[in-house]
Amino acid sequence: MVDCVIKDWQGEEAGSATLDLRVASEENASHIVHRALVRQINNGRQGTASSKTRAEVRGGGRKPWRQKGTGRARAGSIRSPLWRGGGVIFGPKPRDYTTKMNRKERRLALRTAFQSRANDMTVVQDFGTELTQPKTKEALAALDRWGIDPTAKVLMILSERNDNVYLSLRNVPNVRMIDATNLNVYDVLHTDSLVVTESALEKIQEVYGE
């Protein structure tokens, strides 16, 4: 169980919230989170890299010179892997990188990863109504009031998409926004700070709490 302080739009304390998720045991936590991370990265690979073998490279059907009597090394094809323009030895071929993991394990890994970032998490009140129109300057000023380093990678977790928030921060390269129902291990770990709205925290507790 983790107790979090809720901040308002001005950066002042406005209450508290509790995050209580069932996580993996300490001795298994790093292992299961690592497996989930590797699975997500592997499943994102297209696996379409392909190189041609000597059988697939165009040309090379005729023996370049006779076997004996030239003083040169014997050669059967100009598309030998030893020749410039030849085939590739043991090169990549299309393959499926899909890695399987049980659904219960994936959810346990996600809960464990998310709760492990509690020290880097800032919980704020829903601020969609504070932005009456898209304003990047105001959104960045709010991050500063919440104590977020402007140069740090920030993951902002919202309960649902808000156009004014999205348009205000979409062109900030170090800020990424996702919905609470789209949490994933990679995004949770690959960030310096997490900004979670109060309603998003409730939804995470509701969806992932067991």
The tens digit of pLDDT for each residue in 120-163 reads 899 989 888 888 888 899 989 989 998 888 788 999 999 888 88
| β-sheet bridge partners, residue 197 | 124
* DSSP 8-state assignment for residue 124: E
Nearest-angstrom CA–CA distance, 206 and 116: 18
Distance of CA 173 to the CA centre of its chain: 15
Count other C-beta atoms under 10 Å from residue 66's C-beta.
10
Neighbouring C-alpha atoms within 13 Å toward the C-beta of 72: 8
Nearest-angstrom CA–CA distance, 178 and 142: 18
Q: All domains of the chain, ordered by start, with CATH?
A: 2-44+98-208 (3.40.1370.10), 51-91 (no CATH)
What's the pLDDT band for 85 if we cut at 50, 70, 90? very high
Q: What is the pLDDT of residues 3-52, one digit of tens each?
A: 888 888 887 888 888 888 888 898 999 999 999 999 999 999 999 999 99
Write down the pTM of the prediction. Answer: 0.82
